[in-house]
Amino acid sequence: MSQKEKAISIIRRLSEEGYEAYLAGGCVRDYLLGKSPQDYDIATNARPEAIQKIFPQTVAVGTQFGVILVIAGGEPFEVATFRYDGPYLDGRRPSHVRFASMEEDILRRDFTINGMVYDPIADRVIDLVGGRGDLSRRLVRAIGDPRERFQEDRLRMVRAVRFAAGLGFTIEEDTFKAVRGQASTITQISWERIGEEITRILTEGGARRGFELLDATGLLQVLLPEIEAMKGVEQSPDFHPEGDVFTHTLLMLEQISNLKSQISETLAYGCLLHDIAKPVCIKKERDRVTFYGHTEKGAEMAEEVLKRLKRSRAVWERVAYLVRNHLRHTQAPKMRLSTLKRFLGEEGIEELLELVRLDALSANGDLQYYQFCRQKMAELKKEEIHPEPLLRGRDLIAMGFSPGPLFQNILKEVEEAQLNGEISTKEQAVEWVIKQYKK
């Protein structure tokens, strides 16, 4: 049974018990657009306690808001009772809710394209807010007064951008004006929620369009002033004929939007933040523009931004690695063999090389260093880049060395000789150590 069939079985069961029940929200929008919904939410006039009685497996995740998870075929489905929201006092949650009619429930939602419900049993869409018309006009329009919708939940301003970017829609004029008018209030909500939306803008398609809209609405200046600061920061035309740092970054976001495969969060943020320190590191020397130290400083700044957006430690550590090393590949042809092998064997090398490829394509198109690294990775077998150690600590003890700081130095030098091809067997490694350290 498919996810959709499981959701319909829940609706049918509620209907058999005499309740109204419909598919609601994004799944209806996606269905009308001919897209496969990622999840199926259900809205009903059944109260939470009734839902819990009807279905054997339920989880009360938001009973005060009338939300129950129903487990059907091993999958969870959100079943929400129609409700009316009281005043929003914190720009996030209603002060109280009461159970209500379907119409009241629809009118409290965010955008018209998310305000339709679908009755799969009768095969009919119920549209009280003009959602189908806005879908055909490719518009993101707030339900009712957009200023009120955004005062209720500030995050809806960023969500308007995400929907417009991901769907290739335009934000309706009054809705757009309301976002611009209230953009400065966006930080009244949690950074964790903001970080989730920014991440989705970057990874769900339309990243460039999303950041252009964040800029146009005034949200970018409030949320990511470090990106705003890239505007007008000129670059050397021989390396960057495309223009300033902001233009280059938008081209990077366009590149990731065009990727056929799903982009990782870390690569997406690497593309966004790789030149984040150029505005603070810029120096003009006669006819040259330089950004010495921007990779190291950029890694620090990227880490700060991602911590602000409440991304995980794994994310900000990897992104800092990408930013810090995004020019290192240009030194690859000059590296000693051992250094090159270590570089190509680093854990994040695949994402790093993809970042530098996109970076080059968004600038002067010079892929020579990227291609050199790829060629060397193809030539070198995996066991050459990550060879088994020829000697370990116990071998040094057997040779008469006492454990201590010298151990690590010897083992590191043996590894260096191994990676350089000077030694390839344990016997050769023992001879090498005796020659270097035994007197």
Note whether residue 15 is domain-resident: yes
Report pLDDT for 391: 77
CB 419 within 8 A of CB 335: no
Query: What pLDDT score was predicted for residue 289?
Result: 85
Domain count, the chain: 3
- Segment 432-437 shows an average pLDDT of 77
Q: Are residues 364 and 412 in the same domain?
A: no
pLDDT of residue 407: 74
90 has a pLDDT exceeding 60 = no
> For the segment 195-244, what is each residue's pLDDT rounded down to a tens digit?
999 999 999 989 999 999 999 999 999 999 999 999 999 888 888 888 89
Whole-angstrom distance, CA of residue 142 vs CA of residue 129: 10
65-82 pLDDT, tens digit each: 789 999 999 999 999 999
> In the structure, what pLDDT confidence band is assigned to residue 288 with cuts at 50, 70 and 90?
confident
- One domain for residues 122 and 29: yes
Provide the pLDDT for residue 416: 75
Do 44 and 74 reside in the same domain of the chain? yes
Least confident span in 168-182, 269-283, 304-318, 375-389: 375-389
Q: Are residues 117 and 17 in the same domain?
A: yes
| DSSP one-letter code for 71 | E
Residue 95 pLDDT class (50, 70, 90 cuts): low
Query: Which domain, by its residues, includes 406?
Result: 393-437
Closest CA to 216 of 205, 233, 231: 231
- 118/99 same-domain check: yes
Mean pLDDT value across residues 321-336: 96
Query: Which of 72, 104, 129 is the last residue before a domain boundary?
Result: 129
List, for residues 16-70, the tens digit of each pLDDT value. Answer: 999 999 999 999 999 999 998 989 999 999 999 999 999 999 998 876 778 999 9
148 occurs within a structural domain:
no
Q: Please classify residue 74 by burial: count the beta carbons closer than 10 Å to its beta carbon, then call 0-12 exposed, 13-18 middle and 19+ buried.
A: exposed
- pLDDT tens digits, one per residue of 354-392: 999 999 999 999 999 999 999 999 888 766 676 777 777
Q: Give the model's pLDDT for residue 88.
A: 59
* pLDDT higher than threshold 80 for residue 2: yes
Give residue 93's pLDDT: 64
The pLDDT-based confidence of 91 (bands split at 50, 70, 90) is: low
Please choose, from the candidates 134, 117, 115, 135, the residue with its C-alpha nearest in 3D space to the C-alpha of residue 126: 117
Q: Is residue 215 in a domain? A: no
Q: pLDDT band for position 106 (50/70/90)?
A: very high
112 and 81 in a common domain: yes
Give the tens place of pLDDT for each residue, 124-163.
999 999 999 999 999 999 999 999 999 999 999 999 999 9
Decide if 37 is inside a domain: yes
Residue that terminates a domain, selected from 129, 164, 187: 129
In a domain, 81, yes or no: yes
User: The CATH number of the domain where 8 resides is what?
Assistant: 3.30.460.10
- Out of 129, 155, 173, a domain closes at 129
Q: Indicate if 294 and 315 belong to the same structural domain.
A: yes
- The reported pLDDT for the residue numbered 86 is 62
Closest CA to 167 of 205, 133, 196: 205
Q: What is the pLDDT of residue 92?
A: 60
Q: What pLDDT sits at residue 413?
A: 78
Q: 258 or 167: which carries more pLDDT confidence?
A: 167
pLDDT above 90: residue 393 = no
What pLDDT shows up at residue 436? Answer: 77
Task: Locate 418 and state its tokens.
Answer: 């191994």
Reference 255, options 373, 359, 374, 326; nearest CA is: 359
Of the ranges 94-98, 122-126, 418-422, the best mean pLDDT one: 122-126
CA–CA separation, 261 and 254 (whole Å): 14
Q: How far apart are CA 132 and CA 154, in angstroms?
A: 25
> 407 and 342 in one domain?
no
For residues 15 and 109, state if they share a domain.
yes
Residue 431 is predicted with a pLDDT of: 78
- Measured CA to CA, the distance from residue 346 to residue 323 in angstroms comes to 15
Tell me, what's the pLDDT at 238?
81
Specify if 159 maps to a domain.
Answer: no
Measured CA to CA, the distance from residue 276 to residue 302 in angstroms comes to 7
The b-or-e profile of 99-112 (16+ CB within 10 A means b, else e) is ebebeebbbbbbbb
Residue 316 and residue 401 in one domain: no
Asked whether residue 233 is domain-assigned, the answer is no
Q: Which element (helix H / strand E) includes 121?
A: none
Per-residue model confidence (pLDDT) at position 89: 56
Pair (413, 371) in one structural domain: no
Does residue 296 lie within any of the structural domains?
yes
Whole-prediction pTM: 0.86
Residue 322 has pLDDT above 80, yes or no: yes
87 and 31 fall within a common domain: yes
Give the number of other CB atoms < 10 A from CB of residue 383: 8
